[in-house]
Amino acid sequence: MIRIISILVGAFFSAALLWSFGTGAASFIKEPPAATAEKLFHEHPKAIHFASDGAFGKFDNQQLQRGFKVYKEVCANCHALKHVAFRDLKAIGYNDDEVKAIAKGFQIPVYNPATGELNTREGLPTDRFPPVLYAGQGNPPDLSLITKARHGGGAYVASLLTGYAEQAGYKNAKGQELLKLFPDAKTPDGLYFNPYFANLNLAMPAPLAADDQVTYTDGTKATVAQMSEDVSAFLIWTAEPKLDKRKQTGWAVVGFLLFATALAYMAYRNIWAGKKGH
């Protein structure tokens, strides 16, 4: 009896699920969701290769230092790196004196509980990057984990930085013109059109608007595309500074497991050899 009841209950829920699916599918066919500007004109990140990509990828310290220079001279005006300490920069090739000099260039807020005053002091290697007091529109996100928080990671950041465009006459890959299909989708005043951003408009103006905004000490040409990729690579590192070590550990573990598997198989063959069938 219990088995029959269980079968009937299962059949009921299966039928309800099929009915719900059929109703939803029929509704979707009869009344498909309306196309929106975001659906038709939002671009996926470009296919950009970084040195750290893949199982064998490793960070390029020279690129990371270029990316840090872009962050420091351009991005740090609005965006913080609250999860990164100055001494962490030693991992990308800076020595102790260079780290001290970098930290000294930042002002660290210090609260005095006795007087209630908020003062500042020069940074120390043990300090984290200080918060940014931004007076403009919006609330710029902290960039420490931005490549983990956004689909596409570093490729998304680089695409966004190079993706600003004039909205008038903008067409997608299918040749559809945005403002002809959606006249009401015009970018509001104070915002900037960028098809790589989820809703196509964002408050941040193009931070890398021209070549040579920074001067690279290694002689690399500081084009907008190069600066965008370099700072994106740096932000991949800030989000996962132990990536290289994690990959090394992973390969060591895989090698050990393969060795242990082979050893276990040989032990099995040795112990049970000639004993099958008895």
Residues annotated within the binding site are: 75, 78-79, 204
Pairing of strands 201-202, 192-193: antiparallel
The pair of three-digit structure tokens given for residue 222, joined into one six-digit string = 């500081």
Pairing of strands 117-122, 192-193: unpaired
H or E element: which one contains 109? strand 107-112
The pair of three-digit structure tokens given for residue 209, joined into one six-digit string = 């608007």
Binding positions for heme c: 75, 78-79, 204
Residue 98 identity (one-letter amino acid): E
Q: CA-CA distance, 205 to 191, in Å (whole number)?
A: 8
The distance from CA 259 to its chain's CA centroid, rounded to whole angstroms, is 36
Task: Please check whether residue 82 is in contact with residue 129, taking contact to mean a CB–CB distance below 8 angstroms.
Answer: yes
The pair of three-digit structure tokens given for residue 99, joined into one six-digit string = 């780290």
Q: Give every CB contact of residue 262 below 8 A, 6+ residues apart in sequence.
A: none
Task: Please check whether residue 58 is in contact with residue 96, taking contact to mean a CB–CB distance below 8 angstroms.
Answer: no
Q: How many helices (H) and strands (E) does the chain have?
A: 9, 4
